[in-house]
Amino acid sequence: MTGLLTAVMTLLRRDLILALRRRQDALVVLGFFVVVVSLFPLGVGPDPQLLRSMAPGVLWVSALLATMLSLERLFADDFRDGSLEQILLAPQPLSLLVVSKILAHWLVTGLPLVLASPLLGMQLGLNGTEILTLMGALLLGTPILSLVGAIGAALTLGLRGGGVLISLLILPLYVPALVLGAGALDAVMYGSSAQAHLSLLASLLIVTLLLAPWAIAAALRIMLD
């Protein structure tokens, strides 16, 4: 048991140190999110009412695209330098090690999106409670995006044009998270409670957390076999 915990913690620490050494990767994802959201007013005009009503969709679709952008790197570096094979050979269950890798990925790319969202929410004219709801929904939703996206990242490992392929594979699977996440903000904006959305989003997170690691582990074994 302690061996398992040590392995998971070691892997997590290693991934975080690597991410810290290559800070620009995470910053690019965050920058992409901020720039895309900021481009929308330029595209649709500065009408505050329109921007407010579009905010849930704009913020969530941008978060989705930013996550997509980061997925290709999730396993690719470890695949290239051979450390992924070492992880596959480890005696610990692969699905748990995979969860640790995804946790590191989320801490580096998903969490910054959550933390930057209030600023973008204000840009689009959201008020205090709406911004809190947005952050709560993103906090529950971005781990889902990382977990589901990791399936796509594992399945396209080592393929040419893998980055574009991931989006075709994964974006349809993001629909529930998008609907529930954007819906939570929508509900608050139209004066009802976001509780139903947030509870469903939380249960979706739990289900994804239970099922996705198996699929990712199986996909990694297939692609590295």
Write out the residues near another protein by the rule CB under 8 A: 148, 151, 155-156, 159-162, 165, 168-169, 171-173, 175-176, 179-180, 183, 186-187, 204, 211, 215, 218-219, 222-223, 225
- The distance of closest approach from Cβ of residue 98 to another protein in the complex, given in angstroms and rounded to an integer, is 13
Measured distance CA(54)–CA(156) in Å, rounded: 33
Measured distance CA(203)–CA(88) in Å, rounded: 29
In the complex with another protein, the residue whose CB is nearer, 26 or 144, is: 144
- From the list 215, 77, 46, 59, the residue with the least C-alpha distance to 135 is 59
- The distance of closest approach from Cβ of residue 84 to another protein in the complex, given in angstroms and rounded to an integer, is 16
- The distance of closest approach from Cβ of residue 185 to another protein in the complex, given in angstroms and rounded to an integer, is 12
Alpha helices in 156-194 (DSSP H): 162-170, 175-189
Measured distance CA(170)–CA(163) in Å, rounded: 11
- The distance of closest approach from Cβ of residue 99 to another protein in the complex, given in angstroms and rounded to an integer, is 16
Helix (H, G, I), strand (E, B) or coil at 192: coil
In the complex with another protein, the residue whose CB is nearer, 72 or 186, is: 186
In the complex with another protein, the residue whose CB is nearer, 51 or 216, is: 216
In the complex with another protein, the residue whose CB is nearer, 88 or 169, is: 169
In the complex with another protein, the residue whose CB is nearer, 6 or 192, is: 192
Would you call 190 exposed, middle or buried from its count of C-beta atoms within 10 A (0-12, 13-18, 19+)? exposed
- The distance of closest approach from Cβ of residue 73 to another protein in the complex, given in angstroms and rounded to an integer, is 19
- From the list 195, 9, 182, 216, the residue with the least C-alpha distance to 104 is 9
In the complex with another protein, the residue whose CB is nearer, 50 or 165, is: 165
- The distance of closest approach from Cβ of residue 14 to another protein in the complex, given in angstroms and rounded to an integer, is 26
Helix (H, G, I), strand (E, B) or coil at 191: coil
Half-sphere exposure of 207 (CA within 13 A, CB side): 8
In the complex with another protein, the residue whose CB is nearer, 112 or 183, is: 183
- The distance of closest approach from Cβ of residue 202 to another protein in the complex, given in angstroms and rounded to an integer, is 14
The answer to whether residues 88 and 221 touch, using CB atoms and an 8 Å cutoff, is yes
The answer to whether residues 19 and 25 touch, using CB atoms and an 8 Å cutoff, is yes
